[in-house]
A = this chain, B = another copy of it.
Amino acid sequence: MNKKITIAIDAMGGENSPYKNIKGISLFYEKNKDKDDYYFNIYGDEKKIKTELNKYKISDKIFQIFHTSSVVSDNETPLTAVKSSKNSSMWSCVNSQKIFKSNISLSAGNTGVLLVISRMILKTINGVSKPALAGLWPNKSGMNIVLDLGANIECDEKNLVEFAEMGSALYKSLFENDKPKVALLNIGSEEIKGTDIIKKAHSELKEISKKGGFDFNGYIEGNKITDGNSNVIVTDGFTGNIALKTAEGTAKFITDNLKKYLTENILSKISIVFSYFSLKKFKDKLDPRKFNGAIFLGLNGPVVKSHGSTDAIGFYHSIDLCYKIVRGNLMSQIKDNLSHLNDSE
């Protein structure tokens, strides 16, 4: 069993839990019936979880339920929650990596609390100064990774360089590309632009990229994130969070407008009949559920945070992300990449 990819799941985090969490597991099970290389440790209210599990025909050889008595609420702050959370599904889910050798933990619960708990239980990897939250971002040719998305609102050049190494490791584990292209988010592409920290990070990344962990594309501006020419985009958590949310808001604004105009009169409604499959493909391509799941990097074990408001399909994609991360040996990729930094000291 230990050789299986073991995913610890907080079944109680996020809206509509455990319904969506368990349905997400069932979707993963349906799509991976040909495999027997994975296992779920499920944490939460045993009775509720069983009620949900009974709706699907999931082999009981692929999971185990661990009853927990409390749930971290969305309103709790990290400060108050940590003390009271030790019996929670979230705590136990993360702790599962320590006591049951789960390879990864997944929760759709309170982000702030999850980050603090994860840090407390798993501890930061030696040589990493700040763990970071990384996300998937759709682009022309597939997906890239952006980090940090909000774990660290202030970062120095050392942090940014570490983000580059950890983000590259994540990209390699997910996409089997042996040399990701890294870029540094900035307000211009010329070397003279940006803050002192960014300029220092630029020159360090240029040097470190020579050790082979990634190619360095230099600076990237916000309007190029989706152009597919860079695989890993590095920034501080303040900027990353605002870029991500601005992109989400813009996408919603545009698609809301499109919907409004395409349903405004009978002619435009008829047009939907003809463009149904094309519009469906368009919607599929941009479906945010496909990019659901931010990865907390830099701890002695990976933790994935699903959007709290996503549905079962979104949660399924987060489970799939967990599976791929472990299959791609994220942790050893990170250790390999971090050795570039130790060498240089």
A contact residues vs B (CB 8 Å cutoff): 77, 138-140, 150, 153-154, 185, 187, 192, 194-195, 221-227, 235, 237-239, 241-255, 257-258, 261-262, 264-265, 267-268, 270-275, 277-279, 281-282, 285-286
Q: Which residues of B contact A270 (CB under 8 A)?
A: 274
Q: A77-B192, A261-B279 are in contact. Are A226 and B245 (CB under 8 A)?
A: no
10 tightest CB-CB pairs across the interface, nearest first? A222-B245, A271-B274, A271-B275, A223-B249, A222-B246, A268-B278, A271-B271, A226-B253, A187-B241, A261-B282
Q: CB distance A267 to B261 under 8 Å? A: no
User: Given the complex of chains A and B, what is the CA–CA distance between A206 and B320 in angstroms?
Assistant: 45
Q: Which residues of B contact A154 (CB under 8 A)?
A: 195
23 contacts between A and B (CB under 8 A): A138-B253, A153-B195, A154-B195, A185-B242, A222-B242, A222-B244, A222-B245, A222-B247, A225-B249, A226-B253, A242-B242, A242-B243, A243-B246, A246-B250, A251-B254, A254-B254, A258-B258, A261-B275, A261-B278, A268-B279, A270-B274, A271-B273, A275-B275
User: Given the complex of chains A and B, what is the CA–CA distance between A210 and B215 in angstroms?
Assistant: 52
Majority secondary structure of chain A interface residues (helix, strand, loop or mixed)? helix
User: Given the complex of chains A and B, what is the CA–CA distance between A273 and B268 in angstroms?
Assistant: 9
CB distance from A275 to the nearest CB of B (A): 3
User: Given the complex of chains A and B, what is the CA–CA distance between A246 and B278 in angstroms?
Assistant: 26
User: Given the complex of chains A and B, what is the CA–CA distance between A192 and B274 in angstroms?
Assistant: 50
User: Given the complex of chains A and B, what is the CA–CA distance between A226 and B221 in angstroms?
Assistant: 21
CB distance from A345 to the nearest CB of B (A): 29
User: Given the complex of chains A and B, what is the CA–CA distance between A253 and B144 in angstroms?
Assistant: 14
User: Given the complex of chains A and B, what is the CA–CA distance between A77 and B188 in angstroms?
Assistant: 13
User: Given the complex of chains A and B, what is the CA–CA distance between A118 and B275 in angstroms?
Assistant: 50
- Which chain B residue shows the least CB distance to A285? B257
- Which chain B residue shows the least CB distance to A265? B278
Give which listed residue, B187, B244, B255, contacts A153 with CB less than 8 A.
B187
Q: Which residues of B contact A273 (CB under 8 A)?
A: 271
